C-alpha cells in the first residue's frame, strides 16, 4: 500500500485564478482522512523542474501518491503560463514513482506522460483530452476532479474509482443549468483515463 | 426563412421568383440584380435563417458569383448557397466553389421546379443541422451579452459570441457544436435507462 504522498499546486493561475489551489485543498482534505499517509507539499514557485528533481524527489525513497493540480499537455505539467513544464516525461524518474500513483486534474497528461510513467511501473489517473473548466461552476469541477481520489483513498481500484467519478460527473451534468458547462463536463467525463495497476487496491 | 436570389437576369415576374413567393411568402423572397447589394443584405442580416440562390456571371463592375460566395463565407460558413448559372465552373473556380461550400450547382437550363426542389432540400438540411438548432436557441436568449461560458484561458463567450463562433465554424465553435451533440445523445440514452 502507498503510505507517502507529494502534492503539487499553486495559487494565482493566469486564467483560473485559485482553481488549482482550491482543488488541491479539497484533495488534501480527502487525504487527511488517511492519517497513515505522509504528506509533502510542493507549492507555488517550488513547482519547478529543478527543485522537484534536485530537492523534492530526493526526499522520497518509498512508492508515493503524486497529486498534481495544474495545467498540462501531452507530456507534462505546467504552472500558470510558464514556458517549460515543472514535471514531464523527460525527468529522471525517482524511486517514489515506481509502483506509485500519479493522480491529476491536468489536461492531456493521460497520453505521452501517462505512457512514460507506466513504463516505470507507476499508475495514472487523469484526463487524456483538454478540459474546458468554467470558473462559474468551480465547485462542480473541483468535486469531479477529486471524486476518483475519494474512492481510491477508500480502497477502491483505479477502474472502480473511475466508474464512481463518472457517476459523480453524471450527477453534476444532470443538475447543471448551463448546457455548455454540462457539455464540457461530459467531455471531461469521457476523457478520464486510468493506466497501470488498475485492478488492485493501491492505498 | 428568407430566400435571397442574386441574379441580374431575373425579374420579380420570373417563374422562379413567383414560385418561391408562393412557397415561402413574397415578403420572404428578395431578388437582388446587383451582386454587391445581395452581399450587403446578407452580411447585414446574419441573424436571419437564409438560403441563397446565386448566379455566377454579373455585369462589368459587379462582383461575380465566386467572389460573392467567398464574401458570404467570411461572415458565415453555414448559409446554404445554391449556384444557378449558365456559366460552367471549371479549374480553380470549381475548387473555390467547393472549398467555400456551395451546396448545389444547377445549370440555368434546369427548370425552375428543380431549383425549388433544391431550396426545399437545403431547408431540410438546415433543419437537421446541429449548428442551426444551436443558433436558433442562442438567438432566442433575451440577454445575448450574458456570459454563458468561460474557457480555461479566461476567454469568455456570450450568446452573441457563441453564435459567431458557430457561424464561422472556428475550432472552438466546432468543439462546442460537437460537445452539445454528444451531451444530447448522452442525456437521451442515460434518461432512457431510467425509464
Sequence-distant (≥ 6) Cβ neighbours of residue A18 within 8 angstroms: A11, A12
How many cross-chain Cβ pairs, A to B, lie less than 8 Å apart?
A: 52
In a domain, A66, yes or no: yes
In a domain, A122, yes or no: yes
This prediction's pTM: 0.80
- For B152, the grid coordinates are 480555461
Position B141 scores a pLDDT of 77
At B157 the three-state DSSP class reads: strand
**Which of A107, A133, A186 is the closest to B182 by Cβ?**
A186
* Mean predicted lDDT score pLDDT of chain A: 94
In a domain, A15, yes or no: yes
Where in chain B are the domains? 2-128, 131-194
In a domain, A50, yes or no: yes
Over residues B84-101, the pLDDT tens digits come to: 998 888 888 888 999 999
Average pLDDT over residues A13-17: 87
Position B90 scores a pLDDT of 81
More confident position, B169 or A143: A143
What is the span of the domain harbouring residue A14?
Answer: 4-131
Position B194 scores a pLDDT of 47
Average pLDDT over residues A85-107: 90
Taking 80 as the threshold, does the pLDDT of residue A8 lie above it? Answer: yes
Cβ within 8 Å, pair B176-A183: yes
Banded pLDDT at B3 (limits 50, 70, 90): very high
Cβ within 8 Å, pair B180-A183: yes
Burial call A110-144: b when 16+ CB within 10 Å, e when fewer: bbebbebbbeeebbbbbbbebbbbbbebbebbbbb
Over residues A47-70, the pLDDT tens digits come to: 999 999 999 999 999 999 999 999
Taking 50 as the threshold, does the pLDDT of residue B193 lie above it? Answer: no
Over residues B107-137, the pLDDT tens digits come to: 988 899 999 999 999 999 888 877 788 777 7
List of chain B residues whose C-beta atoms are within 8 Å of the C-beta of residue A130: 152
How many whole angstroms separate alpha carbon A163 and alpha carbon A168?
9
Cβ within 8 Å, pair B186-A184: no
Over residues A112-141, the pLDDT tens digits come to: 999 999 988 999 999 999 888 888 899 999
Cβ of B72: how many Cβ atoms within 10 Å? 25
Taking 70 as the threshold, does the pLDDT of residue B153 lie above it? Answer: no
Over residues B15-32, the pLDDT tens digits come to: 999 999 999 999 999 999
Least confident residue range of A23-37, A77-91, A134-148, B146-160 = B146-160
* Mean predicted lDDT score pLDDT of chain B: 88
In a domain, A151, yes or no: no
How many whole angstroms separate alpha carbon B86 and alpha carbon B88?
7
Cβ within 8 Å, pair A180-B151: no
In a domain, A186, yes or no: no
Taking 60 as the threshold, does the pLDDT of residue B5 lie above it? Answer: yes
Instruction: Please say whether the beta carbons of A105 and A69 come within 8 A.
Output: yes
Taking 60 as the threshold, does the pLDDT of residue B59 lie above it? Answer: yes
In a domain, A19, yes or no: yes
Taking 90 as the threshold, does the pLDDT of residue A91 lie above it? Answer: no
Position B195 scores a pLDDT of 39
Mutating which of A132, A133, A135, A175 best tests the B interface, going by the most B Cβ atoms within 10 A? Answer: A132
Please report, for the domain that includes residue A17, its CATH number: 3.40.50.1460
- Domain B2-128 sits in which CATH superfamily? Response regulator (3.40.50.2300)
Position B165 scores a pLDDT of 86
Cβ within 8 Å, pair B150-A107: no
Position B127 scores a pLDDT of 84
Helix (H) or strand (E) holding B92: helix B91-99
Taking 90 as the threshold, does the pLDDT of residue A154 lie above it? Answer: yes
Position B192 scores a pLDDT of 47
In a domain, A150, yes or no: no
Q: How many domains does chain A have?
A: 1
Amino acid at each position: 500500500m502507498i503510505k507517502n504522498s507529494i502534492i503539487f499546486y499553486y495559487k494565482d493561475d493566469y486564467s483560473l485564478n485559485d482553481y488549482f489551489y482550491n482543488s488541491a485543498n479539497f484533495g488534501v482534505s480527502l487525504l487527511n482522512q488517511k492519517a497513515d499517509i505522509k504528506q509533502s507539499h510542493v507549492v507555488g514557485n517550488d513547482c519547478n523542474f529543478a527543485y522537484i528533481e534536485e530537492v523534492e524527489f530526493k526526499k522520497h525513497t518509498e512508492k508515493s501518491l503524486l497529486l498534481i493540480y495544474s495545467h498540462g499537455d501531452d507530456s507534462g505539467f505546467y504552472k500558470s503560463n510558464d514556458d517549460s513544464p515543472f514535471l514531464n516525461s523527460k525527468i529522471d524518474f525517482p524511486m517514489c514513482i515506481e509502483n506509485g500513483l500519479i493522480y491529476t486534474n491536468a489536461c492531456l497528461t493521460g497520453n505521452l506522460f501517462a505512457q512514460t510513467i507506466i513504463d516505470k511501473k507507476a499508475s495514472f489517473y487523469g484526463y487524456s483530452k483538454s478540459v474546458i473548466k468554467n470558473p462559474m461552476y468551480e465547485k462542480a469541477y473541483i468535486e469531479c476532479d477529486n471524486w476518483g481520489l475519494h474512492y481510491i483513498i477508500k480502497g477502491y481500484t483505479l477502474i472502480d474509482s473511475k466508474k464512481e467519478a463518472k457517476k459523480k460527473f453524471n450527477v453534476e451534468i444532470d443538475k447543471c443549468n448551463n448546457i455548455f458547462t454540462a457539455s464540457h463536463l461530459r467531455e471531461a467525463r469521457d476523457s478520464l483515463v486510468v493506466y497501470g495497476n488498475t485492478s488492485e487496491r493501491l492505498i | 426563412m428568407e430566400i435571397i436570389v442574386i441574379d441580374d437576369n431575373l425579374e420579380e415576374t420570373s417563374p422562379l421568383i413567383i414560385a418561391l413567393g408562393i412557397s415561402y411568402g413574397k415578403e420572404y423572397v428578395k431578388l437582388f440584380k446587383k451582386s454587391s447589394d445581395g452581399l450587403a443584405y446578407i452580411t447585414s442580416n446574419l441573424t436571419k435563417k437564409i438560403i441563397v440562390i446565386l448566379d455566377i456571371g454579373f455585369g462589368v463592375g459587379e462582383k461575380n458569383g465566386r467572389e460573392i460566395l467567398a464574401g458570404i463565407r467570411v461572415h458565415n460558413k453555414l448559409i446554404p448557397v445554391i449556384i444557378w448559372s449558365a456559366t460552367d465552373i471549371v479549374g480553380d473556380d470549381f475548387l473555390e466553389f467547393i472549398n467555400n461550400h456551395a451546396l448545389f450547382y444547377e445549370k440555368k437550363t434546369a427548370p425552375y421546379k428543380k431549383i425549388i426542389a433544391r431550396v426545399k432540400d437545403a431547408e431540410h438540411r438546415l433543419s437537421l443541422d446541429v449548428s442551426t438548432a444551436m443558433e436558433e436557441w442562442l438567438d432566442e436568449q433575451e440577454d445575448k451579452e450574458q456570459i454563458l461560458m468561460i474557457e480555461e484561458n479566461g476567454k469568455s463567450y456570450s450568446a452573441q459570441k457563441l453564435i459567431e463562433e458557430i457561424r464561422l465554424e472556428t475550432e472552438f465553435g466546432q468543439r462546442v457544436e460537437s460537445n452539445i451533440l454528444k451531451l444530447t445523445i448522452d442525456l437521451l440514452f442515460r434518461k432512457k435507462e431510467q425509464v
